[in-house]
Amino acid sequence: MIPFLDRFLESLLLGYSVRCHALASKRRGFTLVELLVVIAIIGVLLALLLPAVQQAREAARRMHCSNNLKQLGLALHNYVDTHARLPAFSRGFAGCSNGTPDNDEIKNANGLVALLPYIEQQNVYDQFNHEEAFAVFPSYHKAPGTVIGDPVTNGNAALSETVLDAFLCPSDNNPVKGRLKGTYYGPGGSYSAAATNYDFITDCGDEFSYCNGYVSSTSPDKRMFGADVNTKFAEVTDGISNTFMLGETTRYHVNGGAFAWAYRAHVMAGIDPYHGTNGSAGGINIWHQPFIHPTWQSPPFNPVRGRARSWWVAAASLHPGGCHFLMGDGSVHFVAETTDRSLLNQLSAMADGKVAALP
């Protein structure tokens, strides 16, 4: 009886296997045309999706950049709460043409260093020797005076190499390090400093031309920051909500390495979206300023987006259409590159009597 059942079950299984094989033999794979159609559809979908992904990524980067400036604005207000005034744009800057730095002491310190304790960088701040020079650039020390100490031996030059995310915009794909070295733009010795995407709003022409000139200036176009000067918010009579405090720039300047966060060197005179020395200069995202003669470079210079070619007025970013500015009240605004220069000037000046507002 049992052998009979075994043979019966075996025949059932064999029949089932034959039927499955017959069904499988009737199936066919995708044709070449069908595969090409599917691939084409996937390609179209990716082409439609990629710009949206890129826009979403840039929106996130732009938000991150805006938040960096908000944190710096909070740091500046906390600094004022502690010291009753803003930090100086620079201390002992030797890159100016006329006069001498404060007390004839050359230190080339950047006011951004004063904000370190307020952006959770107290440890870095404490390592600096604040009584001595932060940088020396012997190829372009224009101002007379005494260099106080040596940034190479006192450790300040080495600290300037520290990369701080708080000073960096993620949309800028230019290098953080590598531009700020040598005897024009470096801190001293063989050190290569880290750049910043954010800097104070100044009258760049005056900062470059006149040492300690901010103190005696009666210009109605004075900005909120100047060398060796600590402005009070009460002096911003146009209103702190209507006045630029910090601006955005790129980490690559064609004629000038970039801006270092730790020190001032040749042509590191801050951000000025309106350069009053020349009526055609200024603006936002101007990759080749009109006042820079095109034949200065051979072969002729071809502007590159993201690489500002201007010693001054370096208000720029790699965000499409404009760049960020921090107002005196701590708010951050994205300002279009099409904004009129006269409006930029009014927003930069702190007490010209022309109260302006962004559109």
Residue with tokens 């409006």: 343
Cα 83 to Cα 284: distance, rounded to the nearest angstrom: 32
| Residue 165 near residue 194, CB atoms below 8 Å | no
For residues 149-184, one letter each, b for 16 or more C-beta atoms within 10 angstroms of the residue's C-beta and e for the rest, the string is bbbbebebbbbbbeebebbbbbbbebebeebbbeeb
Q: What's the CA angle centered on 79, arms 219 and 176, to 5 degrees?
A: 85
For residues 55-70, one letter each, b for 16 or more C-beta atoms within 10 angstroms of the residue's C-beta and e for the rest, the string is eeeeeebbeebbebbe
Is the peptide bond preceding residue 290 cis, with omega within 30 degrees of 0? Answer: no
Does a structural domain hold residue 120?
yes
Does a structural domain hold residue 114?
yes
Does a structural domain hold residue 1?
no
Q: Three-state DSSP class for 335?
A: strand
Q: Residue 324: beta bridge partners? A: 334
Does a structural domain hold residue 186?
yes
Indicate the number of domains in the chain: 1
Does a structural domain hold residue 38?
no
Cα 158 to Cα 148: distance, rounded to the nearest angstrom: 17
Does a structural domain hold residue 14?
no
The region, left, alpha or beta by phi > 0 then psi within -120 to 50, assigned to residue 228 is left
Does a structural domain hold residue 357?
no
Q: What is the pLDDT along the chain (359 residues), one digit of tens a residue?
A: 455 545 544 554 455 454 545 444 455 667 877 788 888 888 887 777 767 666 778 889 999 999 999 999 999 999 999 999 999 999 999 888 777 787 889 999 999 999 999 999 999 999 999 999 999 987 777 778 889 999 999 999 999 999 999 999 999 999 999 999 999 999 999 999 999 999 999 988 888 888 877 877 777 888 999 999 999 999 999 999 999 999 999 999 987 899 999 999 988 989 999 876 555 678 999 888 766 666 666 677 788 999 988 767 789 999 999 999 999 999 999 999 999 988 999 999 999 998 888 87
The range of the structural domain enclosing residue 74 comes to 57-348
Handedness of CA 164, 166, 167, 169 (dihedral sign): positive
Does a structural domain hold residue 26?
no
CA 138 vs CA 143, 157, 183, 333, 352: distances in Å: 11, 14, 6, 38, 37
